[in-house]
Amino acid sequence: MKIFNSFSKLLILLAFASFIIGCESKKEEVETVSESKTNIVFILADDLGYGDLGFLGQKYIETPNIDRLAKEGMFFSNFYSGSTVCAPSRSSFLTGMHTGHTPIRGNTEVQPEGQFPMPDSVMTVGKAMQQAGYVTGAFGKWGLGFIGSTGEPVNQGFDEFFGYNCQRYAHRYYPAYLWHNDQKIDLPGNDWTTTGDYAPDIIQEKTLAFIDENAEKPFFLFMPIVTPHAELAAPDDEILAKYKEMFPEEKPYVGGKGADYGPDMRIPGYQSQPYPHATFAAMVHRIDQYVGEVLDKLEEKGIAENTLIIFSSDNGAHQEGGADPEFFDSNGQFRGFKRDLYEGGVRAPMIAWWPKKIKAGTTTDHIAAFWDLLPTFAAVAGNTITETIDGISFLPTLTGEGDQKEHEYLYWEFHEQGGKQAVRQGKWKAVKLEVFKSDQPILELYDLSTDPGETKNLAAEFPEKLEELENLMNESHRQNPQFSFYRSEKEAQ
């Protein structure tokens, strides 16, 4: 009996000890989860216009998942892309610098495949997130340096890359291959003559796999989605069928020489499309589907509440390849499209979604741009950027905590179509055209508070303000040997 009692007491003590250890273990686990770093997902659509989203007034295309982000998150009504074309816009985002300072300021190509490489010496979002202990991945379109160059993703802070390295190849949605880090991945359904494997869907599968593989680690996921850029192409599925029923399609798009898949195809072209409106709508709808799949995956893994999602577009809507932004009212109330420095070329839709951190259904008029994303993401990750950049963290705007610093002004320069510059300072917006013709530039001034569509040029009425903003343009440009801008720089080469 005494032996039994002693044994019973021992069992009770062991059970109690196990309970205490279990509680401590659970307590430690809870503390670890609560103190874990916030995952960050940046979803970047390609050439998506301000008016292409349902919650911003789109009448034809359904975007319920993106609309959900806006309903449950914060919409930035004064947010701007880094540039009005692809590569410099991405360079601005990655480096936290506007186009007067960022290394890549144009879509300059390097043969046989790829664009002029970003130097590996510059601080980037990827490097900052790695320093903060994050796993980093980029899935979609790169365009900042070919494999083996200083600009390839692995040299810019990304542990994994999958997609198109070259922007020119990304004109085509049925490429013969994609890249996984430095490995060329052949797509068996495509050989430049056949259209079996839709590349954006394959990239999306790899994106979701990245979340699966890293759900228990802090991760930074950059999703530079290819659509709805370049050629009009979408799988012949229920999404396309839905929009085929909606549009009569009276004007099929006919591509030029080498545009269509076949033995004479040229990669930079845009294929013919008998259903241009339906296909464009299906492509935007598909972006929304990808967003929904990411949300579902985050919720499936139990990490949605510990994830910040930013959704935006790299520049305004394009007009090539049969796209019809006027029909869809893709630029909304704004003037201009891709390659313009008017609002329609650089004003970008931006949503921030962060459960329990961001007040749902809110809108902010805080003026921000792509170069603010680096310091914002670094602040969320607990990293401090010591390098000189142009960006300002908007974390206080997201959380409502702390003092939000404001930009004195925003600046853009564009190296095509005669050279363009623009500055926004508060309500004022100045645009300078024909910069390469330094003796005859065109200067325009707009009051965005009363004229967001930039319809009334006030240059003659407010010459002093225009002069002030032109001086800011001159001060904001730093010479770049690869991307000379002013005539004096070009003549000196």
pLDDT tens digits for range 295-354: 999 999 999 999 999 999 999 999 999 999 999 999 999 999 999 999 999 999 999 999
- Residue among 167, 160, 127, 124 nearest 145 (CA): 167
Please report where in the chains the tokens 């959704």 appear, as a residue: 311
pLDDT for 437: 85
The count of other CB atoms within 10 Å of the CB of residue 215 is 15
Identify the burial level of 117 via C-beta atoms within 10 angstroms of its C-beta, where 0-12 means exposed, 13-18 middle and 19 or more buried.
Answer: buried
How does pLDDT run across 360-418, given as a tens digit for each residue?
999 999 999 999 999 999 999 999 999 999 999 999 999 999 999 999 999 999 999 99
pTM recorded for the entire structure: 0.92
Task: Report the chain's mean pLDDT, rounded to a whole number.
Answer: 92
Q: Which architecture, in CATH terms, is 412-492?
A: 2-Layer Sandwich (3.30)
In tens, the pLDDT along 48-79 reads 999 999 999 999 999 999 999 999 999 999 99
Q: Are 142 and 225 in contact (CB under 8 A)?
A: no
User: Radius of gyration of the chain from Cα atoms?
Assistant: 25
The CATH 3.40.720.10 domain(s) of the chain lie at: 37-407
When pLDDT is cut at 50, 70 and 90, the band that residue 491 belongs to is low
The vertex-141 CA angle with 136 and 146, nearest 5°, equals 85
Closest of 45, 41, 63, 75 to residue 312, by C-alpha: 45
CATH 3.30.1120.10 spans which residues of the chain? Answer: 412-492
> What's the topology of domain 37-407?
Alkaline Phosphatase, subunit A (3.40.720)
Place of tokens 């320093």: 131
Per DSSP, the three-state class of 151 is: coil
Residue 332 C-alpha from the chain's centroid: 19
> Nearest to residue 103, comparing CAs of 112, 111, 372, 93?
93
Cβ atoms 49, 81 nearer than 8 A: no
Angle 64-72/276-300 helices, nearest 10 degrees? Answer: 50
